Chains A and B, each alone.
Chain A
Amino acid sequence: MATDKNNLIVYCEYEDGKVADVSLELLTKGRQLADKLGIKLEAVVAGSDLKDVEKQILPYGVDTVYKFDDKRLSPYTSLPHSSILINLFKEKQPRIAFMGATSIGRDLGPRVSSALHSGLTADCTQLEIGDHKDARTGEEYKDLLLQIRPAFGGNIVATIVNPECRPQMATVREGVMKKEVRDSNYSGEVINLKTEDYTKPEDFVVEVIDRNVEKSKVNLKGAPIVVCGGYGMGSKENFDMLYELADVLGGEVGASRAAVDAGWADHDRQIGQTGVTVRPKLYIACGISGQIQHIAGMQESSIIISVNNDPNAPINDIADYVITGNVEDVVPKLIKYYKKNTK
């Protein structure tokens, strides 16, 4: 029987009248897990001019929305949002709490976990419910949140659990989970809470002086074709060839972490666990070896072509087509034959 306590709660980011996609994705995953556990799905949203924000949230199968509508809560600053969650969580004792692995969620989550001494796992790529037996004490735990994430630079995948402490907290990047409305008429309760009951005046000491919001010019998530370059591109000049290939194919250029670290591409082009997750129709991996942290961000692409001079590159294992050769040799040919055959 679901009660007001021990539920699954999602912190929803809200700006300019819109709930962030990552929050809606987490609500979708949260609904599935709450069903499995037989508990309620709850959402908390803190900001200003929230109006009827619940209309955006409830359709995801949310049973309760906690609203904090206060001018001082927007734009986001760490302390008041942390205090709200810390005090709300003390009161509602959620079993599980999710937030986006964004610059907000990754600022807020650790602060909340530190105050509540609850475990937090960052950048999860899968979330499941399962049992756990402590190898040392032999103690068994039922229905824990299994938090799965690549670790160690993406060379291994770890399953993390929080056996004793609550809430079990996790952050997930945008695009990793799928967003799906449960029922556009789903009925849930809306509870308006007072910011001053959950925060202290001294929480408002950090001032946002200036905000310069720039829309990212790169739209990797929506691109039907992604041409992605890795460290094997060898140089910035070689990497720049990929823009031409992406351009003729009508796609977007992505980069592996190694290529971003090498300075060949900006951070907003990074694909992988610590970057963007993409699911394009066609993914062309050029000079990418295929670390798990990268594969986590592209493995659901419909068709994967790998161009690599190492015939044993790990990415070849998940590719549909493998071209063994030098990228600087293959990429111009792909451009040439595409142009020739589409005239």
Chain B
Amino acid sequence: MSYNIIVLAKQVPDTRNVGKDAMKADGTINRAALPAIFNPEDLNALEQALKLKEMYPGTKVTILTMGPARAAEIVREGLYRGADGGIVLSDRAFAGSDTLATSYALSAAVRKIGNFDLVIGGRQAIDGDTAQVGPQIAEKLGIPQVTYAEDIIEVKDGKALIKRRIESGVETVKAPLPLVVTVNGSADACRPRNARNVQKYKYAAVPSEAAADEKVKALIEKRPYLEIGEWNAQTVDADLAQCGLPGSPTKVKQIENVVFTAKDARRVENTDAELEKLIQELIANHTIG
């Protein structure tokens, strides 16, 4: 038995390494100063898909990402690691989407791809940390979900056996296909790029990228597998009222660069005498000891 798997991946700014130049003077984020990376838990999700592809030969793994044309980088990264194809969902109409509008657009694209057994994504993306898009897509598709997955153990008789890692421990569930699964960072790390795939897909591109590069354009004409799908709202029959800002029930009222009320900190010199004095003081006022 083979399966059709869609992997949801997001290109995110690397919020884990925010340097001093990442914040502008007015307190807003200078996105340009942050490297764009493959959302970490989406890589864990990709690994689960690639593992299933090995277990069930003939299984097809398609990467789906929403973002600007630049997000094709994510699809290429997936192809290098073993995915079979990918689609970039890109439209100005999606700008300003909250999680609900995002899940609407992505679920429309999943429907358009069609004939899927599993939709696998990371539990959450590091730029928002909401963990909402997976379950919201599942609901829009009217199918079950398994969140906090650590291992998709097997798929048999139309059901997936999945280990979940939750606060209280480990749970194993069996859920029928088609199914949305969101994967934790505690799952196996993604395999590295495969040198042969890198050679094969080096020039894979979305049409808007290819249009700007004659060589890539010519290559794609010769080898159609190099073309990464580039879909917009119209391609996936999206209702514009449910996309972007108009489709987002949540609005950002205010963004602040937080200023904490600075305490009058006492500077303690890093000397033996000063550190011992500090310890003695903390013992004397019963903070420790």
Contact B15 A210 (CB under 8 A): no
Known: A119-B249, A249-B288, A340-B276. A212 touches B130 (CB 8 A): no
A261 within 8 A of B: yes
In the complex the two chains form, what is the Cα distance from A340 to B283 in whole Å? 12
- Given contacts A102-B167, A333-B272, is CB(A319)–CB(B263) below 8 Å? yes
- Return chain B residues, CB-CB under 8 Å to A323: 268-270, 275, 278
- Residues of B close to A292: CB separation below 8 A: 258
B254 to chain A, nearest CB (A): 4
Q: Is the CB of A156 within 8 A of B256?
A: yes
Q: Interface stretch among A1-9, A55-63, A75-83?
A: A75-83
Q: How many A-B residue pairs have CB under 8 A?
A: 249
Task: Determine the residue in chain A with the shortest Cβ distance to B12.
Answer: A153
Tell me, in angstroms, the Cα distance from A150 to B128 when the chains sit together: 9
Q: Does B232 contact A (CB under 8 A)?
A: no
A residues 308-335 touching B (CB-CB < 8 Å): 316-325, 329-330, 333-334
- Nearest-neighbor residue (CB-CB) of B280 within chain A: A341
Cβ–Cβ < 8 Å partners of A282 in chain B: 282, 287-288
Looking at the assembled complex, report how far the CB atom of B161 sits from the nearest CB atom of chain A, in whole angstroms.
7
Count contacts on A: residues with CB < 8 A to the other chain.
Answer: 95
* B171 x A208 contact (CB < 8 A): yes
Interface 0/1 of A145-183, CB less than 8 Å to B: 011001111111111111111000000000000000000
Is A267 positioned at the interface, with any CB of B under 8 Å from its CB?
yes
Tally B residues with Cβ within 8 Å of A.
81
Q: Is the CB of B268 within 8 A of A322?
A: yes
- Name the B residues within 8 Å of A320 (CB-CB): 263, 265-266
Task: Convert B236-253 into 0s and 1s, putting 1 for each residue whose CB lies closer than 8 angstroms to a CB of A.
Answer: 000000000000111111
Complexed CA–CA distance, A156 and B254 (Å):
10
The reply to whether B129 and A123 form a contact with Cβ atoms under 8 Å apart is yes
Kindly specify which of B68-76, B144-152, B217-225 makes contact with the partner chain.
B144-152
Residue in B145, B256, B268 whose CB lies within 8 Å of A157 = B256
List the interface of chain A (C-beta within 8 A of B): 15, 75, 77-79, 82, 102-103, 106-111, 113-115, 117-123, 132, 134, 146-147, 150-165, 205-214, 216, 225, 249-250, 257-258, 261, 267-268, 273-274, 281-282, 291-292, 295, 299, 302-306, 316-325, 329-330, 333-334, 337-338, 340-342
